[in-house]
Structure formats: C-alpha cells, structure tokens
C-alpha cells in the first residue's frame, strides 16, 4: 500500500476544514480537488 504524505491527524483536520469549502481547504494544503473527489466517490 502506498504511504500517504499526510498523517492521520492532518487528514482529519483537512476534512473538518472542508466544511468551510472544499476548494479552499484543498488550496490551503496543496491538494488537487480531483484527488479528494476521486478517492471518496
């Protein structure tokens, strides 16, 4: 399994932030919006 570049704590914090807006949270953390959408859809 590929190792994540984010810790579990960071992922949880990012997911909580997305409530304010997914695009903003992705931009703040340097994540591609498609990575999030593709992983959990």
Other Cβ atoms closer than 10 A to 25: 19
> pTM (2 decimals)?
0.44
The reported pLDDT for the residue numbered 15 is 80
Phi, psi of 33 (to 5 degrees): -55, -35
**Per-residue pLDDT tens for 10-31?**
888 878 877 767 777 778 778 7
Whether 14 contacts 24, CB under 8 Å: no
- Is a pLDDT exceeding 60 seen at residue 40? no
Confidence bin at 2 (pLDDT 50/70/90) = confident
């Amino acid at each position: 399994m590929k190792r994540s570049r984010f810790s579990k704590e960071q992922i949880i914090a990012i997911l909580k932030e997305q409530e304010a807006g997914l695009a903003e949270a992705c931009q703040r953390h340097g994540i591609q919006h498609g990575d999030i959408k593709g992983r959990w859809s």
